[in-house]
Amino acid sequence: MTQTPTEPRSRWSPWTVHGDGRSIRPGDVVHPGERLSWPRTVGVGVQHVVAMFGATFTVPLITGFPPATTLFFSGIGTLLFLLITGNRLPSYLGSSFAFIAPVLAAKSGGDLGPALGGILVAGVALAAVGLVVQLAGARWIDALMPPVVTGAIVALIGLNLAPVAWDGGGSGGVKAQPLIAVVTLAAILLATVVFRGFLARLSILLGVVVGWLLAALLGQLDPTAVDGLKQAAWVGLPQFHAPSFEWRAIVLVIPVILVLIAENAGHVKAVAAMTGRNLDKDMGRAFLGDGVATMLAGAGGGSGTTTYAENIGVMAATRVYSTAAYWVAGAAAVLLGLSPKFGALIQTVPAGVLGGATTALYGLIAILGARIWIEARVDFHDPVNLLTAAVAVIIGAANYTLTAGDLSFNGIALGTAAALLIYHGMRLIARLRRTTPDSRPGPEPEL
């Protein structure tokens, strides 16, 4: 039950103040059209920036894209997404891990141009899907991706990212600095239960600060990164890069839209489950918003974007789904993208701190997949539902990889495809079996 706002919505603001603007009653949430007081909203927005920056910076560091440029376009993309979705879908658009493998394959002699061209075309394709969904309705998306499928996709994304928390994709994580990671995670957990009100809702940010300070005291900050921080300018434009278009790069990158569709659909379903509202009518706008953001990033030198699962974790932890916090996060990302000093500061965050924080965040993502199943009352006595979820989750968690020539598909893409093929394939076979003349009608077999 939502508190009655004590302050009416002004014509200058699309948000009403939730309750007294300072606290959230047990079992209540701050809906997208509501906000807390502005100081608290700014604090939550900053936490969203903290939650996204690890992954948002990881993708360009792996692919060779300029991190500050990626951050700049992620902020611009987030603000465009909020405008296109009518301020109804709380989401941060960060750089998508699904682009890593195809972008690395599409880079020609180290030239970013062909990869950027592929990203731009993928954005166009996703935007086109969004227009079709918005005009034709999202019922076919529901038929294509019922709750058992979307829940499996959300869960496998969280489980697929779990190794990144452990070893940072080979660059650190909990494995590199276990003490710092454990202290960071412990600080997040303690802040959640020890503090009350606003401070409890900044638990992830507080945990990151505690972990960074511990690393600094122990002398475990990277000296090269610290020197870079000292030398970096406070203000400066990010490094832009123009795209070029090659068929090979386009063919490599464009299949990523299947993952983006699944991620966006899963995001919308997850937010709907957590807020108790049906957001299906905004599904097409979500695809369109992410498509436009990805197009813009590809046109200027940034990584392709997606609705960020890390920020779902923050919303689940804070129970604040206000889009006002995302306007703060998007604006902060744009400003920070214009500051080389901030980019250098991000480079000083130790791998153990990111590992500890993402242990909590990625775990929350996986559990939210289960929550979709629970909220939709998915019947796991039905073997089709059971096997759909079981196989897809294992493929994602184990990061199955399929390589065919220059094409490579990882666990998120393969797990998504498996969920769709298993569910619809088994349903089709079951329907055909029931309609054959010599078959006896009856319920589907149970395990």
Using DSSP, state whether 400 is helix, strand or coil. Answer: coil
In a domain, 88, yes or no: yes
Would you state the structure tokens that stand for residue 420, as one six-digit string? 């769709």
Task: For residue 417, give the DSSP letter.
Answer: H
For residue 308, give Cα distances in angstroms to 98, 100, 108, 264, 268.
12, 15, 28, 9, 11
- pLDDT tens string, the chain, 447 residues long: the values are 444 444 444 445 688 887 777 777 777 788 888 888 888 888 888 888 877 776 677 677 667 788 888 889 999 999 999 999 988 889 999 888 778 767 877 776 678 888 999 999 999 999 999 999 888 887 777 788 788 988 888 788 788 878 878 876 666 677 778 898 899 999 989 988 888 655 666 677 788 889 989 998 988 887 888 888 888 888 888 889 999 888 878 877 887 787 788 778 878 877 887 777 788 888 899 999 999 999 999 999 999 998 877 787 778 777 888 899 999 999 999 998 898 887 677 777 788 888 888 788 788 878 878 888 988 899 999 999 999 999 999 998 998 888 776 666 777 778 888 999 999 999 999 888 877 655 444 455 454
Residue 408: φ, ψ to 5°:
-145, 130
pLDDT value of residue 12: 55
Strand partners for 16? 34
In a domain, 8, yes or no: no
**Which residue intervals of 218-350 are DSSP H helices?**
223-231, 247-253, 256-275, 283-300, 309-318, 323-337, 340-348
**390: Cβ contacts below 8 Å, ≥ 6 apart:** none
Q: How many domains does the chain have?
A: 1
**pLDDT given for residue 272 in this prediction:** 83
CA distance 299 to 400: 31
Cα 334 from Cα 339, distance rounded (Å): 9
pLDDT at 7: 44
Let me know: does 59 contact 70? Beta carbons within 8 Å.
yes
Tokens of 157: 């994304």
Q: How confident is the model at residue 438, as a pLDDT?
A: 53
Residue type, 292: V
Dist. CA 21–CA 2, nearest whole Å:
13
190, β-bridge pairs: none
User: Which pLDDT score, from 0 to 100, does residue 250 have?
Assistant: 84
Asked if residue 396 is part of any domain, the answer here is no
**CB within 8 Å of 436: residues ≥ 6 apart:** none
- pLDDT for residue 444: 52
Residues 6+ apart with CB under 8 A from 171: 58, 61, 351
CB atoms within 10 A of CB 279: 21
Q: Read off φ and ψ for residue 95, nearest 5 degrees.
A: -70, 135
Q: Which amino acid is residue 357, in one-letter code? A: A
| Residue 422 forms part of a structural domain | no
Contact 164, 439 (CB under 8 A): no
Please report whether residue 440 resides in a domain. no
Question: Which residues constitute the domain of residue 81?
Answer: 36-370
The per-residue DSSP string of 210-228 comes to HHHHHHHHTT-S-HHHHHH
What whole-number distance in Å separates Cα of residue 45 and Cα of residue 326? 6
Asked, for residue 382, whether it belongs to a domain, the answer is no
Positive or negative, the CA dihedral 205, 211, 213, 215 is: negative
Residue 421 lies in a domain: no
Q: Which residues of 143-173 are buried (b: 16+ CB within 10 A; e: fewer)?
A: ebbbbbbbbbbbbbbbbbbbbbbbebbeebb
Instruction: Show the tokens assigned to 60.
Output: 């360009």
Instruction: State the chain's maximal CA–CA distance in angstroms.
Output: 79
Segment (H or E) for 191: helix 178-194
380 in a domain, yes or no? no
Q: What is d(CA 415, CA 228) in angstroms, rounded to the nearest whole number? A: 40
